[in-house]
Amino acid sequence: MCPPPGPRAWLPKGTLSPSAVMAFPSARRRRRGQLLARGGRPATATGLLVALALAGRCLCWASPPGPSRRSAAAAGAAAAAAALAGIAPAAHADQFILPYMKPGNPDKLDYRDPDFPPVPDEDPFVRKLQAKSWAMEPIIRTRLFLMEEKRRVQPNPFADYKFFVKRVDSSTQWDVLDEASWKSASELGKVLLDNDLSFRREEWESFVYATDKDQEWVARNLNVTDIVEMPPELVEKIRLIGTRKFAG
């Protein structure tokens, strides 16, 4: 329970307040000397926090209205003590309302189907960008599929590296090689970089066999850990995207 109001009425004369003790190193040394002179022990970190929290509650009750250094320190001390005690501050519904998030579609934006080409823009430069982007859509969809499969066959991104090599006999299948096998095949020129599916900016690389004989040699002599195949529904969607031409 807090003592009656009054500036530092509950502290002995000449004793520094807990907020001052925490705020200034010289004040902490003076406080330590006062405690030792009275035969007491210097407070531990936990004890100081508890005392500071109690003092903060009292200061908040006894301080006059208006901001002050003491009230700010007391409020901070109370918040720190509450955090240490695991007491979460009360949540208000207003704090989760974002002013820029409007319900529904008040701006009447046209969300196009990503499986269809965009509406040509009036600006010729923008139309060229739209045409290039739509032409890359089948490759982008394939690349995204392989990136997802990479996370499956190589859960740890920093070890046990795996490499995708596109098969010669199928445009929707890739052999998965471990690092040692990939290095051996690359040094012998049997595995080459797939310039279409690789995207250096995203640090993504995909590979392709140089010939069908190289694919057979790798299967016989190296370690093919897995074979990744694109699902039929994705193959069909990519085929349809390729038939839908940009009208610009």
DSSP string of 6-19, one letter each residue = STTTTSPTTPPPHH
Q: E strands along 162-237, which residues?
A: 162-166, 173-178, 191-193, 207-209, 224-229
Phi and psi at residue 29, to the nearest 5°? -65, -40
C-alpha to C-alpha distance for 184 and 43, rounded to whole angstroms = 66
Q: Which residues of 49-82 are buried (b: 16+ CB within 10 A; e: fewer)?
A: bbbbbbbbbbbeebeeeeeeebbebbeebbeebe
Per-residue pLDDT of the chain (248 residues; tens, 9 = 90+): 455 544 444 444 444 455 544 444 555 555 555 554 555 554 454 454 444 444 444 444 444 444 455 655 666 666 666 555 555 555 554 555 556 566 666 667 677 789 999 999 999 999 999 999 999 999 999 999 999 999 999 999 999 999 999 999 999 999 999 999 999 999 999 999 999 999 988 889 999 999 999 999 999 999 999 999 999 999 999 999 999 999 97
Helix (H, G, I), strand (E, B) or coil at 177: strand
Task: Tell me the DSSP string of 92-160.
Answer: -GGGG--TT--SS-TT------TTSPPPPPSSHHHHHHHHHHHHTHHHHHHHHHHHHHHHHH-S-TTSS
173, 160 Cβ separation under 8 angstroms: no
Give the start-to-end residue ranges of the domains of the chain. Answer: 124-243
